[in-house]
Amino acid sequence: MSEHAVELVRVDKHFGTVVAVDTVSLSIRNGEFYSLLGPSGCGKTTTLRLIAGFEMPTAGQVYIDGELQGETPPYRRPVNTVFQNYALFPHMSVFQNVAFGLEMRHVSKEVIQHSVFEVLEMVQLPGMERRRPGQLSGGQQQRVALARALVNHPKVLLLDEPLGALDLKLRKAMQLELKALQERVGITFIYVTHDQEEALTMSDRIAVMNKGQVLQIGTPEEIYERPASRFVADFIGETNFLEGKVAAVRNGEVAVEIGDALLVYAPLERDAVVGDTVVIAVRPEKISLSTTPEDPRALPGVVREVVYVGTDTRYLAELAGQVTVMVREQNLAEETARRLSAGTAVYVCWQPQSARLLRG
Ligand SMILES: Nc1ncnc2c1ncn2[C@@H]1O[C@H](COP(=O)(O)OP(=O)(O)O)[C@@H](O)[C@H]1O
Ligand SMILES: [Mg+2]
């Protein structure tokens, strides 16, 4: 068995003049929950279809379980796809829908019976065998689609925005369930989503895509805490971007002047020399506001807006009349939820290691 369930090596896919996939290389390990995350039109579905064999690459190679796929048709690849619209047969029962693939492969009646019941148990749909898809809720239909894909014991399951049609609460429940299911069955999942929170919740690793290219690959923590570019920092979570010029580099730290005599600091995680135009990215929840200057590096500012959003309070703070940053403070107690009002003079502070130095 190959260490990698799926490998893409410098894969391109063009549709006429449209470059849907641009030099994409991925190495997806056995048993990984791997997400392709990016905005609509960035090439996620096309990448999945290249793995499934519904599309052939314009250039580059697709390997599944160490074998070069070349022109191998979809039904000969050890993968199965779950689509957002479920694609169930409406006139067939749940049992028949799930059994369909096995019947096509002339598996014996006893084995089909056993496999279908086992997999319906797995997706938590026992007792629904006789129903038609139209008699099921959206979430239940999605489980049937999953069961139908899992019953073939694929090496890799490809899921294209499978929860996209469900309402938020059900989607969140299904996210946790899918993740637990994946861990139980140990099958490699390649999961396409444009929802950053979904990708963070479920994935072992995430490939962030934009305009056909993979911009960054990492664990949820790596992607969130150490975005490699402004696009990734902006797409995943909320971020303050402070543009400026490098004023000093010393002791593994960079000082950046973001306005007239406003200095902010970040670890020197990439090459930078004095005078470079750079961007410092800081997450709103890493910033603290205080009415006393507790840190020598705290920046004086004024609260401009206060928005109570239940779990936390968002403040917009203006730094020395120049730049505005968003700050999020968790509401640990009701009485501290709006502890600062608009117009309050504050000191704005964050740990230098919470800031990221990005290219300008
Ligand atoms: N069969 C096709 N013919 C022409 N253009 C296509 C085709 N499939 C996808 N595209 C284009 O390729 C790009 C990527 O599409 P897609 O992979 O569906 O993105 P995503 O799934 O990330 O939303 C888009 O610009 C889309 O319009
Ligand atoms: Mg898509």
| Residue 228 and residue 89 share a domain | yes
| Residue 250 and residue 214 share a domain | no
| Residue 263 and residue 335 share a domain | yes
**Mean pLDDT throughout 134-157?**
91
Contacting residues for 330 by C-beta, under 8 A, at least 6 apart: 285, 311, 312
Cα 208 to Cα 45, 224, 272, distances in angstroms = 13, 11, 25
Q: State the total domains in the chain.
A: 2
| Residue 259 and residue 126 share a domain | no
Closest-lying ligand 1 atom to the alpha carbon of residue 48: 17
- Nearest partner of 161 among 139, 193, 138, 198, judged by Cα: 193
**Mean pLDDT throughout 69-76?**
94
- Cα 287 to Cα 333: distance, rounded to the nearest angstrom: 19
Q: Residues 19-58: pLDDT tens digits?
A: 999 999 999 999 999 999 999 999 999 999 999 999 999 9
| Residue 333 and residue 222 share a domain | no
Any ligand 1 atom below 6 A from CB of 39: no
Mean pLDDT score across all residues of the chain: 93
Q: Residues 118-136: pLDDT tens digits?
A: 999 888 888 889 999 999 9
Contacting residues for 158 by C-beta, under 8 A, at least 6 apart: 48, 51, 52, 79, 80, 81, 82, 190, 192
Query: What residues does the ion ligand 2 have nearby, CB within 5 Å?
Result: 45
| Residue 219 and residue 246 share a domain | no
The CATH number given to whatever domain includes residue 353 is 2.40.50.140
Q: Name the closest ligand to CA 47.
A: 1
Question: Of the ranges 86-90, 132-136, 209-213, which one carries the lowest mean pLDDT score?
Answer: 86-90
Q: 35 by DSSP, 3-state: which?
A: strand
**Mean pLDDT throughout 309-323?**
91
Ligand 2 centre and the CA of 268: distance in Å?
A: 37
Ligand 2 centre and the CA of 146: distance in Å?
A: 18
Q: Name the closest ligand to CA 38.
A: 1
**Per-residue DSSP letters for 327-340?**
EEEE-SSGGGTT-S
Residue 266, domain extent: 238-359
Closest-lying ligand 1 atom to the alpha carbon of residue 21: 14
Any ligand 1 atom below 6 A from CB of 18: yes
